[in-house]
A and B are shown apart, each in its own frame.
Chain A
């Protein structure tokens, strides 16, 4: 089915008086469904109004075009009515005459009486009956905007375009008008595109929020779906579990845009010192208990000790933003979920590959699978119970949350479900939810359980919302969890910095696994710039006995968060191979036929060994070995294909040759050969 509105790769270039050109918009492509409400958000000057004017036909794109219901937009017309930023009412006409001008022009074909009743209807719809014969100068700003909306709606446009419609109004009037607009749109089912700079307004009104990057050459940086059901009430929206997540994601995007602009202004970027290529590092982390090594390295001074004088820890709202930060170079390196660097190198879900390197594992274990109290009350205690629950007739397939497709959480959750005979794609739904938003989603009933790192499991247990059905120590003790990931080209340009970074983090990991230090670490983690959660939800498993939220006694799990002991930090390639099999098993990336080369490229034990030896630590890992998870199926690193074959539940597995390293970068994307 063709789309209602297609914005087809628009570019807009303005000629400047000095003969140069200013590129305002760069390849904007957007499809809009009928009845959809789209917000365009971005900093001022990002070209969002230009884009709206192009859709309206008031400006022409330099290249590309706009297609409305299969027909190309050639100029302005009443089928795409605009509500202008400054109302644009005609001051010499009364409220009624202003509305009537549009109706009489655009709906000429209707008899006079009918046109008059349309005008009257819309006057009433926006509640301006009392002011119908007043002139614009006798009206308040809010009333003027209501006239403008009535004028726009009265001609029954196919598409309503709103250019910062409530920008000039005070908060109270704005709120009232937003509610009114929502009500009217529910009645008229009009399709809308709105330009705004108000984050709350965008979340309240939109089905999708299109975020534009800063100009020049703005492009669509990100599109957010707003999953809040309609009709919406303001308070329902604010209380919806996704509200704060959406809000923070938009604010994060806008802040990043602002920072980027600032960064562009303040060159140089790199400070070199002490024989290190760069000492002002920007490292990303996600607020979780196992970000401890980064926090410790910073707070306990391990970064400084190894010459990294100016390390900034950047608190990221989700793994997606970590991925984006490292890809764009905003972050020098980051704490990552273990599967991410491998998936990025191959090219996760058809994205262009970004060759990555990991030189150190930061933590092992620390994850658990939490299910809702509701499922507990329905008798789900074990995986077998869960399978039985799902095989009942008429059971609604539950939705489970995980943090990123390439995370260990996704892979372990799927492995656990599949081992119990549950197909994670067919028998239930898996959904990406950023870690800090898990509990809110569970509370709202958006998801029925999740797999996430601490403290977000203990948080649900503490609030009585869920129970821990299983955790890493039961599934795969010593499972690699977080790694230090960086782009390969960055690593190649900063070899000394990388060694210093690994040394600092290795010492931090050692510090983390000394039980005497855990109280101190807890204090740091509770700080708002790190995890910012209450101490009592971080303690279980980290410092105290782990409470599963069941009648069972809380259990002391010494290695629930494992940072250093048992060669925890060695970037073992065998474990990497297991991750590759799982990523391929669920169709997330093709399995690389040249997996030895891929692992060689991504996991760099030699760099780890150098750092460890300089610290006087053994830089070696475990011997090449077979291992098994809780279900007992042997993983033989010499026969990954056989392992994949033996797994019962899986998707169609593609096997491809993956170009890695410099050649992949040169190609721009992985040139793959079908197996």
Chain B
């Protein structure tokens, strides 16, 4: 309080506008107005007696308990939304990390060797088009456990864009850089760390960004079929209990988390990409 009263109102308003920027402020204003209009229409449409979907205000009052206390833990699957989302994120984190490590390695391998590329590319092209959920039964059969199965689904979903983008990045490595390496006679390790890896970073991160988006899509669907703590199963559970307002709240959270994940990977990528390659 002492700090804020220290500032004059004028300078604080100036500070706010400077932080937001006129352009950003304009965007936020317009999108807020749009959200209110959408909510308003929704409210109007669902005003009648016994609507198919609850109007926004009803959703808010119905789920107020969940919103204000996301951290409760009553044991079993009866836990707050924070824990539900955290459980899903954990699975995504494990599956996605495995996919990233394997995907980058395989991508570099097939990007460097024309022979391996020609050998594996047709297999990848077929596997890539298999929908994520189609992997679930076979993984359940193989692992006989829910947890590794959902992680496997994430893995299979995220790996293809990572492999393909990394391979393209390696193949697109400018001849100039290769020539530099050849003239300097860089060792394999030096070539990898000084030239190949930094040059493919932008491509790798494009793959990672697509991968994380797909993983988040897949986890919600996978969890619906596999009981346990997780935002996907929470939605399915709410549906079986006819708690439509809770579903709507959960969907909102899923969307926001997906957005945050995408922004997170993108900003790491930006941090690691040199200016000239952007």
B225 within 8 A of A: no
Are the C-beta atoms of B274 and A135 separated by less than 8 Å? yes
CA distance A88 to B274 in the complex (A): 15
Are the C-beta atoms of A76 and B183 separated by less than 8 Å? yes
Residues of A within 8 A of B275 (CB): 91, 135, 137-138
User: How many whole Å from B274's CB to the nearest CB in chain A?
Assistant: 4
CB contact list, B189-230 vs A, under 8 A:
190, 194-195, 198-199, 201
CB contact list, A74-113 vs B, under 8 A:
75-78, 80-82, 84, 86, 88, 90-93, 101-102, 105-106
CB contact list, A127-175 vs B, under 8 A:
135-138, 155
B242 within 8 A of A: no
B118 within 8 A of A: no
Residues of B within 8 A of A90 (CB): 177, 180, 194-195, 198
Residues of B within 8 A of A57 (CB): 182-183
Residues of A within 8 A of B182 (CB): 57-58, 75-76
A326 within 8 A of B: no
CA distance A102 to B195 in the complex (A): 12
CA distance A672 to B202 in the complex (A): 71
A56 within 8 A of B: yes
User: How many whole Å from B205's CB to the nearest CB in chain A?
Assistant: 14
Convert A532-553 into 0s and 1s, putting 1 for each residue whose CB lies closer than 8 angstroms to a CB of B: 0000000000000000000000
User: How many whole Å from A168's CB to the nearest CB in chain B?
Assistant: 13
CA distance A86 to B179 in the complex (A): 12
Are the C-beta atoms of B185 and A77 separated by less than 8 Å? yes
Known: A135-B274, A155-B184. A101 touches B194 (CB 8 A): yes
B186 within 8 A of A: yes
B277 within 8 A of A: yes
User: How many whole Å from B89's CB to the nearest CB in chain A?
Assistant: 31
CA distance A91 to B274 in the complex (A): 6
B50 within 8 A of A: no
Are the C-beta atoms of A88 and B276 separated by less than 8 Å? no
Q: Which residue of B lies closest to A152 (CB)?
A: B183
Known: A84-B179, A88-B177, A88-B179. A102 touches B198 (CB 8 A): no
Residues of B within 8 A of A101 (CB): 184, 186, 190, 194
Convert A36-61 into 0s and 1s, putting 1 for each residue whose CB lies closer than 8 angstroms to a CB of B: 00000000000000000000111000
How many chain A residues touch the partner (CB < 8 A)? 26
CA distance A612 to B187 in the complex (A): 80
User: How many whole Å from B63's CB to the nearest CB in chain A?
Assistant: 48
CA distance A84 to B180 in the complex (A): 9
Known: A84-B176, A86-B176, A90-B177. A106 touches B185 (CB 8 A): yes
Residues of B within 8 A of A136 (CB): 276
Q: Which residue of B lies closest to A86 (CB)?
A: B176
Are the C-beta atoms of B276 and A135 separated by less than 8 Å? yes
Are the C-beta atoms of A78 and B198 separated by less than 8 Å? no
CB contact list, B165-189 vs A, under 8 A:
176-177, 179-180, 182-187
Q: Which residue of A lies closest to B273 (CB)?
A: A92
Residues of A within 8 A of B274 (CB): 91-92, 135, 137
User: How many whole Å from B198's CB to the nearest CB in chain A?
Assistant: 4
Convert A413-448 into 0s and 1s, putting 1 for each residue whose CB lies closer than 8 angstroms to a CB of B: 000000000000000000000000000000000000
User: How many whole Å from A325's CB to the nearest CB in chain B?
Assistant: 40
Name which of B182, B183, B186, B201 has the most chain A CB atoms within 10 A of its CB: B183
Residues of A within 8 A of B186 (CB): 101, 105
Convert B226-251 into 0s and 1s, putting 1 for each residue whose CB lies closer than 8 angstroms to a CB of A: 00000000000000000000000000
CA distance A58 to B201 in the complex (A): 26
Q: Which residue of B lies closest to A148 (CB)?
A: B180
Residues of A within 8 A of B179 (CB): 58, 76, 82, 84, 88
Are the C-beta atoms of B276 and A80 separated by less than 8 Å? no
User: How many whole Å from B131's CB to the nearest CB in chain A?
Assistant: 38
CA distance A158 to B179 in the complex (A): 18
Are the C-beta atoms of A76 and B185 separated by less than 8 Å? yes
User: How many whole Å from B152's CB to the nearest CB in chain A?
Assistant: 35
Residues of B within 8 A of A93 (CB): 194
Residues of A within 8 A of B187 (CB): 105
CA distance A81 to B184 in the complex (A): 8
CA distance A58 to B176 in the complex (A): 11
User: How many whole Å from A601's CB to the nearest CB in chain B?
Assistant: 56
CA distance A56 to B274 in the complex (A): 29
Q: Which residue of A lies closest to B187 (CB)?
A: A105
Residues of B within 8 A of A137 (CB): 274-276
CA distance A106 to B184 in the complex (A): 6
Residues of A within 8 A of B190 (CB): 101, 105
Q: Which residue of A lies closest to B179 (CB)?
A: A58
Are the C-beta atoms of A91 and B185 separated by less than 8 Å? no
A88 contact from B176, B194, B198, B277, Cβ within 8 A:
B176
CA distance A92 to B179 in the complex (A): 17
User: How many whole Å from B65's CB to the nearest CB in chain A?
Assistant: 51
Are the C-beta atoms of A77 and B183 separated by less than 8 Å? yes
Q: Which residue of A lies closest to B197 (CB)?
A: A92
Q: Which residue of B lies closest to A138 (CB)?
A: B275
A78 contact from B177, B185, B276, B277, Cβ within 8 A:
B185
A58 contact from B183, B184, B194, B277, Cβ within 8 A:
B183
Are the C-beta atoms of A105 and B185 separated by less than 8 Å? yes
User: How many whole Å from A485's CB to the nearest CB in chain B?
Assistant: 50
Residues of A within 8 A of B185 (CB): 76-78, 105-106
CA distance A351 to B179 in the complex (A): 41
Name which of A77, A80, A88 has the most chain B CB atoms within 10 A of its CB: A88
Residues of A within 8 A of B184 (CB): 78, 101-102, 105-106, 155
Residues of B within 8 A of A77 (CB): 183, 185
Name which of B187, B190, B194, B277 has the most chain A CB atoms within 10 A of its CB: B194
Are the C-beta atoms of A82 and B276 separated by less than 8 Å? no
CB contact list, A207-252 vs B, under 8 A:
none
B183 contact from A81, A86, A138, Cβ within 8 A:
A81
CA distance A532 to B180 in the complex (A): 51
CA distance A559 to B277 in the complex (A): 77
User: How many whole Å from A79's CB to the nearest CB in chain B?
Assistant: 10
CB contact list, B59-80 vs A, under 8 A:
none
CA distance A138 to B201 in the complex (A): 20
User: How many whole Å from A49's CB to the nearest CB in chain B?
Assistant: 12
User: How many whole Å from B236's CB to the nearest CB in chain A?
Assistant: 46
A92 contact from B180, B183, B198, Cβ within 8 A:
B198
User: How many whole Å from A75's CB to the nearest CB in chain B?
Assistant: 7
CA distance A77 to B179 in the complex (A): 10
Are the C-beta atoms of A56 and B198 separated by less than 8 Å? no
Residues of A within 8 A of B177 (CB): 88, 90
Residues of B within 8 A of A155 (CB): 184
Residues of B within 8 A of A78 (CB): 183-185
Q: Which residue of A lies closest to B186 (CB)?
A: A105
Are the C-beta atoms of A91 and B180 separated by less than 8 Å? no
CB contact list, B134-189 vs A, under 8 A:
176-177, 179-180, 182-187
CA distance A92 to B173 in the complex (A): 14
Q: Which residue of A lies closest to B183 (CB)?
A: A76
Residues of A within 8 A of B183 (CB): 56-58, 76-78, 80-82
Residues of B within 8 A of A82 (CB): 179, 183
CB contact list, B252-276 vs A, under 8 A:
274-276
CA distance A77 to B180 in the complex (A): 10
Residues of A within 8 A of B194 (CB): 90, 93, 101
User: How many whole Å from A141's CB to the nearest CB in chain B?
Assistant: 13
Q: Which residue of B lies closest to A102 (CB)?
A: B184
CA distance A28 to B139 in the complex (A): 65
Name which of B177, B180, B198, B277 has the most chain A CB atoms within 10 A of its CB: B180
Residues of B within 8 A of A80 (CB): 183
5 interchain pairs, CB-CB under 8 A: A76-B183, A88-B176, A90-B194, A101-B190, A137-B275
Known: A75-B182, A90-B195, A105-B185. 12 other contacts (CB 8 A): A56-B183, A57-B183, A82-B183, A88-B177, A88-B179, A91-B275, A91-B276, A92-B274, A105-B184, A105-B187, A105-B190, A106-B184
Nearest 6 pairs of A and B residues by beta carbon: A91-B276, A88-B176, A92-B198, A92-B274, A76-B182, A137-B276
